Amino acid sequence: MERFKVVICGAGIAGVEALLRLRRLAGDQVDITLLNPRGYLDYRPLAVAESFGDEQVQRFPLDRIAADTGARWLADSLGWVDRTAQLAFTSTGEALAYDALLLSLGGKPCPTSPFMEPFNSRHGAGMYREILAAIDSGRVRSLAFVVPQEPSWPLPLYELAFLTAQRAAARSQDVELTFITPAPAPLAVFGPAVSERIAEIMGAAGIRLYCGSSADMPARRRLSLVPSGVDLRPERTVTLQRITGPDVPGVPGDARGRFLEIDEHCRVRNAGGRIFAAGDATNSPVKLGGLSAQQGDTAAAGIAHLAGCTPLSRPLHPVLCAALRTGEGYLYLTADLIAGQGWHGRIDDEPPWDDGHKVVAAELGPYLDGLA
């Protein structure tokens, strides 16, 4: 009898977390193929710290991860899906039969304003180090941070602002820092108590804050805020990489950006019950590594149930957990995520979760500790 076939497309936090959880739940009763064009897991929560020379982004080889989990790693990317035949076709045309398919592909980068500089966890450190050098030399005396309107995880931008303010103060540099967010308050997804504390810290650091604002940049060194009409003239402007959904041919996607719409068990809606999704590819308005890991765990449990290995798992109850680095150390933020909004948010000076990882992932954290 053939074993239950699982194809996991993407080897970021969501994909590897799901791989580890699925192997723990299903043992050797499932045959797993991990599809990813690059040969490593980029652990990128430390990209901001790398910009300041404090940490290095870590890479973990997929051949080791595949060997440890008994999976087959295929160095290719997903091309399209035939749901009727239950086949996932790679970009080079290879057909992979599946009984369950997990899409943990991440979002697709898309262009931003030509006058803004997008920070992303893969390539942003070098760009931001150049900005810091320009501040050090006196060539840049004003810097703006703009959170985009599109779904994103804005915490790295807050960290860049805090650490830049701390660095400038320590070096007695006169630099004007401005932070613009479309949210009604800073990190509003965590609720009012967290937002009030963050606003206080930003004020104490000398960071000018504009909330409920989007930014149009029609020319270099010109920011127009909507709806207030305020005009700013920063010498450099940093934003986050905008993303859209993966837009996988053969798989239903949200009409807005083709993100994958999932149910409470992380199954892609209207896809027949055998296709799951986790991470930035989904239509969750919050893009966070710890949330991606929770989705990966939920998808793995659903796949193990399909394979006849476990009873039906509980629906996903997402909890936001984030470690925010300020100029004075870390703050630890938590909230329940309900209908895209944070509830019961709290802020702590010590981590309320068990390990010290910046991304809270039940399987991945202990596993990476073993590789280190």
Q: pLDDT in tens for each of the 372 residues of the chain?
A: 689 999 999 999 999 999 999 999 999 999 999 999 999 998 776 678 888 876 666 789 999 999 999 999 999 999 999 999 999 999 999 999 999 999 999 988 887 888 999 998 767 778 999 999 999 999 999 999 999 988 788 999 999 999 999 999 999 999 999 999 999 999 999 999 999 999 999 999 999 999 999 999 988 899 999 999 899 999 999 999 888 888 899 998 755 568 899 999 999 999 999 999 999 999 988 888 889 999 999 999 999 999 999 998 889 999 988 889 998 888 999 998 877 677 788 898 888 876 556 678 889 888 988 876
Residue 315 DSSP code: P
* Distance in angstroms (rounded) separating the CA atoms of residues 349 and 64: 36
Domain CATH code at residue 150: 3.50.50.60
Which of 186, 210, 241 is the last residue in one of the domains?
241
* Distance in angstroms (rounded) separating the CA atoms of residues 32 and 73: 9
Total structural domains in the chain?
2
Pairing mode, if any, of strands 222-226 and 214-219?
antiparallel
pTM over 0.85: yes
Pairing mode, if any, of strands 30-35 and 4-9?
parallel
Which of 241, 271, 306 is the last residue in one of the domains?
241
At 10 the pLDDT is 96
Domain that holds residue 231: 135-241
Shared domain check, 275 and 182? no
* Distance in angstroms (rounded) separating the CA atoms of residues 369 and 360: 13
